[in-house]
Amino acid sequence: MCDNPNCKSDRIAFINGKTSDLCQFQYKDIDTDGYVPNGIVIGEGGWGDYINFHFCLDCGKIQGNFPVSDKEVEKAVENC
């Protein structure tokens, strides 16, 4: 079921893609090329080469634990 309290749809899709160390991530003054950041929703359980996430086909919300703090982002890109 969708994480969005205004939606609650059961139409949740999953995306999984292999980047082969070719993931670019940009946020504020952080700009990395390499591994997928782990711990900020887009790479959960697929550390390294895999971008994966669930999203709602009705409201478009990416499913996960939000908000993500700047400190969590910094930690996620440490090994990228």
Domain range annotation of the chain: 12-76
Name which residue leads in pLDDT, 42 or 58.
58
Output the pLDDT for position 46.
58
Q: Which amino acid is at 31?
A: D
Look at residue 45 and tell me whether its pLDDT is greater than 80.
Answer: no
The beta strand positions in the chain, using DSSP E, are: 12-18, 23-27, 30-34, 50-56
Output the pLDDT for position 6.
95
16: region left, alpha or beta (phi > 0 left; psi from -120 to 50 alpha): beta
The predicted model gives 29-35 an average pLDDT of 93
- Global pTM reads 0.82
Average pLDDT of the chain to the nearest whole number: 91
